[in-house]
Chains A and B, each alone.
Chain A
């Protein structure tokens, strides 16, 4: 072979993988430099789904940004809603005055969204490695979770559920029983998924020791979320900087060792269990009461008041037409999304529109690590590595 190589004139092959490759979901392009099947270099090109999210937000009122935040990480839309609402409330100075029930419901919805996101991610990853059966089990589990989300928000993906100073609607009747039924099925699906894959030799060979990254590199690249924890760094915004009611629930945070794909898979699998635990605990102690802040200048008054009281009507019209008046200032509030830290950096100069609305998407930082993680590996290793990054184009490109 080596003699042959000396005689032949060989040079590295440049291969363009994507943007429309079945495995590059979210539309991303890898410009690969290959020596045979070995990757010498990998350039990641993003931006195919850029749709000026930040500019859209700056052109609408504070409330009108919510439907656009849904479209960032569409697998876990509620988490983006919550992240934006928390940042705006911090700026308004009403963050500590939120009614208990609203905070509890927000946390429950965040965890349901995390479930949906992890189910999709793990299911799609196994699908791309050829395990269609396991994919179908997790997609069924995800559908059931999305049914739950739909019964609360009115839509499966574009939830548009959270508002500044409260929620769009209350939980439907019989929600706790619905959750109980869904979780029983989902636990069964989780067991079967685990049985099919965790000790599966083909799966282990594809996942183990591929796409590894050291803790230092992960921190240097700005990794957060399951990918950072898989590298062995104990950082979770829910524990390090508790928001909502995460300081009042009992849950563990799984941590890996080497940061390879198998660790990321195991971390996500365990996070599913922990999310189920959190939702069950919170539903057990869900307080009764209002879901919106009693401040007509922040949250629209009730419809009866709008019809009967002139003051409420004025607030309703002013809030809708001019937007909520947010005092000048800037704020950054980090939250733990399913892929990592989702944070909104908002700047207000006073008035009804955000002057600047910057989102810190976890996928963006994770995507810049792909080249690092696959260097020296085989072409086929891109698939599990990229799947475990869980790039969401809507969030990365904004």
Chain B
């Protein structure tokens, strides 16, 4: 379609008024004040009995306030604990091979009723790159990316190696993500 190469105007010339410099400084300060004054007023208002949403600023007061994360957010990968108390994982090992940095290791086993389950499931959080390929590979919706982003850093590498107990999260807490991946990521209408 249309559109062409266009020269930019580099011959910006300054008028005498602009070359006087001092009026330009004031103009700059006025632009900054246009940000500062409304921010200052709204923050002060919110401080004296207003709601946090009254603050018309970009930043949030983090530990007290939490950011609103989009549904797509990829946080710590977790295993889904089904409503009957068992993990959904069947130890097929697909997440293990799909993981680019190879941070998952599984030892599979069989329960007495014949169903398969992971005897050990170790996810090394220090190696994980949060790409979400494990979630995409899992045929059982057993591992999903939760919206948890806190407490993933430690001073030592040992506590960052998560075992099965540290990874299992009840299904009820993951409904938002499970709903999202069915609706937006792997739904049949995608094809």
> Chain A: residues with CB nearer than 8 A to chain B?
56, 60, 63-64, 66-68, 133, 137, 140, 143, 147, 150-155, 158, 160, 166, 168-170, 172, 192, 195-196, 198-201, 204, 208, 229, 234, 236, 239, 247-258, 262-263, 266-267, 270, 290-292, 294, 299-307, 313, 316-317, 320-321
Minimal beta-carbon separation of B162 from chain A (angstroms):
20
CB contact under 8 A between A63 and B73, given known A252-B3, A320-B94: no
Q: Per-residue 0/1 for B13-49: is the Cβ within 8 Å of any A Cβ (1 yes, 0 no)?
A: 0100011010010011001101100000000000000
Residues of A within 8 A of B191 (CB): 290, 292, 294, 299, 301-302
CB contact under 8 A between A321 and B94, given known A158-B130, A196-B28: yes
Bound Cα distance A226, B12 (Å): 19
- B184, CB-defined interface residue at 8 Å: yes
- B10, CB-defined interface residue at 8 Å: yes
Nearest 8 interchain pairs by C-beta: A151-B70, A154-B72, A303-B186, A266-B8, A67-B131, A154-B74, A302-B188, A234-B5
A154 close to B10 (CB less than 8 A): no
Minimal beta-carbon separation of A85 from chain B (angstroms):
15
A200 close to B5 (CB less than 8 A): no
Residues of B within 8 A of A172 (CB): 70-72, 184
CB contact under 8 A between A143 and B21, given known A253-B6, A256-B8: no
Q: Select B1's contact among A137, A196, A247, beta carbons within 8 Å.
A: A247
A255 close to B7 (CB less than 8 A): yes
Minimal beta-carbon separation of A321 from chain B (angstroms):
5
- B9, CB-defined interface residue at 8 Å: yes
B58 close to A291 (CB less than 8 A): no
A248 close to B1 (CB less than 8 A): yes
Residues of B within 8 A of A249 (CB): 1, 3
30 A-B contacts (beta carbon < 8 Å): A60-B100, A64-B100, A133-B32, A137-B35, A140-B58, A155-B73, A169-B72, A172-B184, A195-B31, A200-B24, A236-B5, A250-B2, A250-B3, A252-B5, A253-B3, A254-B6, A254-B7, A255-B6, A256-B7, A256-B10, A257-B10, A262-B10, A267-B8, A270-B6, A290-B190, A302-B191, A304-B188, A305-B188, A317-B139, A321-B97
